A and B are shown apart, each in its own frame.
Chain A
Amino acid sequence: MTINKMAEALSLRPLAVPEGERACSGVYIGDLLSWVMGRAQSGNVWITIMSNINIVAVASLTDVSCIVLAEGVVPEEDVVRTAEQKGINLFCAKEPAYELAVRLNGLGI
């Protein structure tokens, strides 16, 4: 499923979607960036509550298909700008990570 379709199905709020037609597969949830760096897989939807600039670097390094900020977390403007520049899809959502994961599972991701 593409990022655009997934985001629409979950009613995620788009912050930066430079690669909306990219396919997503699998989900990774984690907040300790060094841990995520070693474990998230290419193509994953990465759900986190961390919103500092380093998340863009981690997403870029692990090649996840998007970052979803859970629990209503909103990043600083420079994070959104950098995500756009680096080709990282970035969304935010009101729901906690578990709720999002359950709904992603329902979509077959």
Chain B
Amino acid sequence: MKELSLNILDIAENSVKAGATLVQILLAETSDTLTLTVADNGCGMTPEVLRGVTDPFYTTRTTRKVGLGLPLLKLAAEQTGGSVRLTSRYIGEDPENHGTEVVAVFHTDHIDFTPMGDVVSTILTLIQGSPEIDFLFRHQRNGSTVELDTRRLREVLGAEVPLNSFEVLQWIEEYLREQYQT
């Protein structure tokens, strides 16, 4: 993919499909690395499925449960000399504490590092498509932090205001872009 924000969208969509009620999208930058964490409390994967998800030829299209998001993320990270780590607890084995965590490390000083792109649009697309799910987005860079927690937003707005209403989305966009400017 040409921009990391599209990879992030793809990975977070997996969390949505896994029935998560909370999806955390965390970005942490150092001078020469970027660490992306997407963590959810969805149904998780069995160790068997987990082994196959980064292999694009693992199963046929009809039985494959996730798209090519993870293989492509792995490619994007590894082509910068980075890596992807995947952990998951399957709901069938751990009904109390299930979910999946994807951690990708990129070396941002590598020539094949694909730029972040418009991550604010990614977050907006996710909220627009799944207003019932909570998202925690946090981007730490050079000492400053950009953050959005839809759980806090819901506390203020009340349960009756859908997060994908135009005014709310517009507010979220301005709120995030303002934080990026400072």
* Chain A residues near B (Cβ < 8 Å): 32-34, 37, 49-54, 57-58
B111 pairs with A54, CB closer than 8 A: yes
* Alpha-carbon separation in the docked complex, A52 to B110 (Å): 13
When distances are taken between beta carbons in the complex, the residues of chain B under 8 Å from A37 are: 111
A52 pairs with B111, CB closer than 8 A: no
Which 10 residue pairs across A and B have the least CB separation, nearest first?
A33-B111, A52-B115, A34-B112, A34-B111, A33-B112, A54-B111, A32-B112, A37-B111, A52-B114, A58-B111
Q: A52-B2, A54-B113 given. 12 additional CB < 8 A pairs?
A: A32-B79, A32-B112, A33-B112, A34-B111, A34-B112, A49-B2, A51-B2, A52-B114, A52-B115, A53-B115, A57-B111, A58-B111
When distances are taken between beta carbons in the complex, the residues of chain B under 8 Å from A54 are: 111, 113
A50 pairs with B111, CB closer than 8 A: no
When distances are taken between beta carbons in the complex, the residues of chain B under 8 Å from A53 are: 115
Summed over the interface, the residue pairs from A and B with CB atoms below 8 Å come to a total of 20
B contacts with A, residue count (CB < 8 A): 8
* Alpha-carbon separation in the docked complex, A50 to B62 (Å): 31
When distances are taken between beta carbons in the complex, the residues of chain A under 8 Å from B112 are: 32-34
Contact mask for chain B residues 78-113; partner A; CB cutoff 8 A; 1 contact, 0 none = 010000000000000000000000000000001111
When distances are taken between beta carbons in the complex, the residues of chain A under 8 Å from B2 are: 49-52
- Give B114's nearest chain A residue, CB to CB: A52
* Alpha-carbon separation in the docked complex, A109 to B104 (Å): 42
19 cross-chain CB contacts under 8 A: A32-B79, A32-B112, A33-B111, A33-B112, A34-B79, A34-B110, A34-B111, A34-B112, A37-B111, A49-B2, A50-B2, A51-B2, A52-B2, A52-B115, A53-B115, A54-B111, A54-B113, A57-B111, A58-B111
